[in-house]
Amino acid sequence: MRDVKTLSDQVRQTAYDIHVYHGHGHLEKVYENALAHRLGKAGLDVKQQHPIQVFDEDGTLIGDYLADLFIEGVLIIELKTARTLAPEHEAQILGYLKSARVEHGPLINFGSYKFEIRQFAWSEKRPQGTERAQRILGFLVSAFSVFFAVK
């Protein structure tokens, strides 16, 4: 198994190459199959539509879902073919990471003419106040982006 950063870099580059070759406009399943095919060809352990169980705090099974791709047992990949990524897509990948107790997962959108990928990380060991600090940092980054985009 490779380290998560190297693995994430490989997934990002492969997804970008697929976006360049196929463009946007296909169904999500086409991109899922292409990414699974290319990553598998590169020697990675790739599971498509991998079942993940969701448990309540007392350990009761309350549901399950299928992860688009599960790579090397450490990376959940959520794919979209939307005009743009939305907050509900981000909430979905974070929920999947938490349920599966997997720390890392990219959210990749093939539906836009512009390639979109966002990397997410989740951990149970977050210190108090981290969420608020992340929201403030997100606001500052957004404000910074808007300031330079207006020029």
Tokens of 14: 């492969």
pLDDT for 145 equals: 42
Distances (CA, A) of 47 to 70, 84, 131, 136: 5, 26, 31, 36
For residues 50-83, b (16+ Cβ closer than 10 Å) or e, as one string?
bebeeeeeeeeeeeeeebbbbbeebbbbbbbbee
pLDDT for 136 equals: 60
User: 26-35, pLDDT tens digit by residue?
Assistant: 999 999 999 9
Pairing of strands 75-80, 104-109: parallel
Are 12 and 107 within 8 A, CB to CB?
no
User: 58-116, pLDDT tens digit by residue?
Assistant: 888 888 889 999 999 999 999 999 999 999 999 999 988 988 889 999 999 999 999 99
H-type helices in the chain, by residue range?
Answer: 4-22, 28-41, 87-100, 130-150
Residue recorded with tokens 């448990």:
55
User: 97-113, pLDDT tens digit by residue?
Assistant: 988 889 999 999 999 99
Q: Which CATH class is domain 4-125?
A: alpha beta
| In the chain, where the domains are located | 4-125
Are 79 and 32 within 8 A, CB to CB?
yes
Looking at the DSSP assignment, which residues form a beta bridge with residue 50? Answer: 67
